[in-house]
Structure 1
Amino acid sequence: MSTSANVPAFTVISGAQVQSALAGRHEQVVDIVEQAYRLHGAGRTVNPPSYFLRFPDRPSSRIIALPASLGGDTAVDGIKWISSFPDNVAAGIPRASAVLVLNDHDTGYPFACLESSVISATRTAASAALAADHLSRDRGRPRRIGFIGVGLIARYIHEYLQGTGWTFDEIGVHDLSAEHTAGFTSYLERVEDGPRVVVHDSAESLIRSADLVVFATVAGTPHVHDPAWFEHAPLVLHVSLRDLSPEVVLSSVNVVDDVDHCLKADTSPHLAEQRTGNRDFVDGTINDVLAGELKVPADRPVVFSPFGLGVLDLAVGKFVYDQVMAHGEPTVVPDFFSELRRYG
C-alpha cells in the first residue's frame, strides 16, 4: 500500500436516503445496470458464487452473501448481505432485509454501509426492464403483461417498466394470496391510467393471456409444468428462478445473466441441466444480447433468468453513495477506525 493512502471516513446511509437518491431516476439506473453487465461481460468484474446461510430449524429462511468487485470508472469492492425470511410477511414486515458494505478500491477499508433492500429491489427491477427492452426489440413490444407473485419485487418491476416508457393495454395479476392480489391491484389502479387490470385465478390463465410474463414469487420448486401454456411465444422475466419445470425451460429460448451463477442452487435452469446432463439449452447471456451477438426469435418463448449479480448491487450502491455525499446529509461515524498506528 502506498504511504500516501488515507483511511476513508465511514458513512451510514439509511433506506430513506437510498429512496431519495434513486427517486425518478429509472432510466439512469437502467443505464448503470447495463454498464455493469457490459463490464462483467468484458471480464472487468470479480463476482464469486453467492454463499447461502441456511438454518435446520428454519428451512424456508436463508441469508445470502454476495461479494463482488466492480471495475471501470466506478471501481469499488463490497458485499451485500441479504436475508429472506418468508414468515415475516404474516407478521406484517417485509420478507427481505439487507445491507450493502462498500470497500475502498485502493485500501480495502469499508467506507459505507447502506440499507440495501431498496438497492436490491431496484437493481432487480432495472435488470428486468433492461432485458425486456432488448429482448423485445426483434419481436415487438408486448402489449399485455402478467405478474405471477405480486410482492415488492413485482411492484418495483412495474415501476421500472413504467418509468422507462412502457405502456400496456392489459395488466394481469395472479397470486396465491387474495390479500396480496388486492393490494397490488389497488396499487396498479392508483398509478396506471388506461390499461385494463385483470385478476386471474390460475397461473395458466394469466400466462396464456400475456405477451410479457413476470414471475416474482417465493416458490422453491417448479409449479408451472406445461410448455403448451407458452405456445403463443411470450417473453418471460423469470426473476424468481424456480417457477418453471425443466420441460418448460427446455422448450424455450434461454437467456441468463451469468451461466455459472444461474445454473446452481436448484434453479429451474439448474434442474434442466441435471435433467439433460449439459448446458446446451442456454442460448446466451444478457451481455450477448446487449453486444448484438444473440438475436432471439419471435416464434418461441424467451425466458430471461437472472440469478442476480453482486456487481449490480455495487454499481447501484456506489451511485447512491455518490448522490448522498454530493446532495444529501450523510451520517459519518467519527473514529469508526480508531486503531491506525501499528505501535500505538
Structure 2
Amino acid sequence: MPPPFTVISGAQVREVLQGQEKQVTEVVEAAYRLHGEGRTVNPDSYFLRFPDLPSSRIIALPASLGSVHGLKWISSFPENVAGGIPRASAVLILNDAETGFPFACVEASIISAARTAASAALAAVQLSTRRGVRPSRVGFVGTGLIARYVHTYLAANGFTFDELGVFDLAPAHAEGFTGYLARTEAGRITVHDNAEDLIRSSDLVVFATVAGEPHVHDPAWFSHNPLVLHVSLRDLSTDVILASCNVTDDVEHCMKANTSLHLTEQLTGGRDFVAGDMRALLAGEIDVPSDRPVVFSPFGLGVLDLAVGAHVHEQVTRDGGGQVVEGFFDELKRYG
C-alpha cells in the first residue's frame, strides 16, 4: 500500500520550528555538507512568469536528499502586501524514496523563510569566524518576513548587536520592523532615510528586498568592508560585486535569473570574481579578507527545503499531528 498522505498546516510548522533556530541551522548545515559531497540531486529551479504581472512569479524547486524526494512550489506576488496578505506563499510536497508516492503536503512559506535565514546565519557565523571578529552593528535593507527571520536566526546563533539600522522604501514597514526589534533587542535602533547611510553605518548588512534589478551601485558605500548577506540576490551592481569577495551557496545555481552574480558573469565572461561556495566555506578553503567587503549571495537550494520539511514532518507525525487524508490515493489495482 502507498504511505498515508498527511497535510501539515502552517501553524503546525511554526510550532515545530519556533525556538529550534539553532537546531534548524544545524539541519541546513548538514544538508549543505551532503550537497557539497555530491550526495544530493538539485536541478535548476523553474520560473513561471506572467506577461501581465512582471513583478510576480511562481518557482518550482525539485530536489532529492537521501531518503526523501520532493518539490517546493513557491509564489512571490509583491502586490499582495498592499492588500494586507503576505508576498510569498508555498507548499512542499514530500515523496517516498522507495515508491515515489507523495506522502505529505506541508505549508512551506515558513519552511522557506527558516531555511533562508538559517543559510544566512550559517554563512555569517562562518565568514565572521574566518575574519576573527563578529559584527556589532547590523543594518537591514528591506523589512519583511525574511528580514525578521534572518534577525531571529542571527540572534539564535550568538550574534548580539549594539546598533541596529533599518531602511525600507515603505515607512510603515520600517516602523513595524523597528517595533519588532525593540521587543527583542537592547541595542540602539536607527531608522535611516536612505540605503547609503544604513550601509555606511553597519558592519553587517542584510539585503532582504524584492528588488528585480540592482539599485545599489557605488562601491564606496562599502569602503569600511562590511559583511553583506545578499539574501535577495539582485540588489548589488556589478561594480559592487567586482569590488567584493563573493561567496555563494552553489555557484552554478546562482548564475541564473539575472542575479547580481549572473549579471557580473555576463559582463566579465567568467566566474573568477567568486571566491567559492558553501562547501568550500565549511571546509575552510576560502580566504576571507578583511580589506574588502565580503558578500554572501545564497540562491537557495531545494535540498534545504527538503531537509527542513522532513524535519518538520518527522516531529509533527511523531507527536500524532498532521491531518491524514484517508482515501487520497485511489485506483490502486491495475485491473480494478
Aligned with 2:55: secondary structure?
Answer: coil
Q: Which residue of 2 aligns with 1:34?
A: 29
**TM superposition shift of 1:257:** 0.7
Aligned with 1:322: secondary structure?
Answer: helix
What per-residue deviation string (whole Å, max 9, x for no partner) do you get for residues 245-289 of structure 1? 000001100001111110111000001011101111011001111
**TM superposition shift of 1:22:** 0.8
**TM superposition shift of 1:138:** 2.3
Code of the residue aligned with 1:22 in structure 2: it is L
Q: Does 1:306 align with 2:293?
A: no
Q: Which residue of 2 aligns with 1:276?
A: 268
Kept in 1: contact 2:9–2:322 (CA 8 A): no
TM-score in terms of structure 2 length:
0.99
How many correspondences in the alignment?
335
Kept in 2: contact 1:212–1:237 (CA 8 A): yes
Distance 2:223 2:330 in 1: 63
**TM superposition shift of 1:164:** 2.0
Kept in 1: contact 2:14–2:110 (CA 8 A): yes
Q: Does 1:57 align with 2:57?
A: no
Deviates more, 1:301-310 or 1:158-167: 158-167
Q: Mapping of 1:124-163 within 5 angstroms?
A: 124-139=116-131, 140-163=133-156
Q: Does 1:169 align with 2:171?
A: no
Q: Does 1:76 align with 2:68?
A: yes
Q: Which residue of 2 aligns with 1:93?
A: 85
Q: Which residue of 2 aligns with 1:11?
A: 6
Code of the residue aligned with 1:55 in structure 2: it is F
Q: Mapping of 1:156-235 within 5 angstroms?
A: 156-192=149-185, 194-235=186-227
| Structure 1 gap ranges (5+) | 1-5
Q: Which residue of 2 aligns with 1:261?
A: 253
Distance 1:165 1:248 in 2: 28
Q: Which residue of 2 aligns with 1:287?
A: 279
Q: Which stretches of structure 1, 4 residues or longer, exceed 4 Å deviation after superposition? A: none
Distance 1:153 1:284 in 2: 24
Distance 2:106 2:96 in 1: 14
Deviates more, 1:316-325 or 1:288-297: 288-297
Kept in 2: contact 1:13–1:115 (CA 8 A): yes
Aligned with 1:80: secondary structure?
Answer: strand
**TM superposition shift of 1:147:** 0.2
**TM superposition shift of 1:299:** 1.3
**TM superposition shift of 1:165:** 1.9
**TM superposition shift of 1:328:** 4.3
Distance 2:304 2:321 in 1: 24
Code of the residue aligned with 1:33 in structure 2: it is V
Q: Does 1:20 align with 2:5?
A: no
Q: Which residue of 2 aligns with 1:3?
A: none
Distance 1:133 1:38 in 2: 16
What per-residue deviation string (whole Å, max 9, x for no partner) do you get for residues 180-223 of structure 1? 0000000111112x200011111110111000000000000100
Distance 2:281 2:321 in 1: 39
Code of the residue aligned with 2:73 in structure 1: it is W
**TM superposition shift of 1:295:** 2.5
Kept in 2: contact 1:138–1:298 (CA 8 A): no
| Structure 2 gap ranges (5+) | none
Task: Identify the match of residue 335 of structure 1 among 293, 315, 327.
Answer: 327
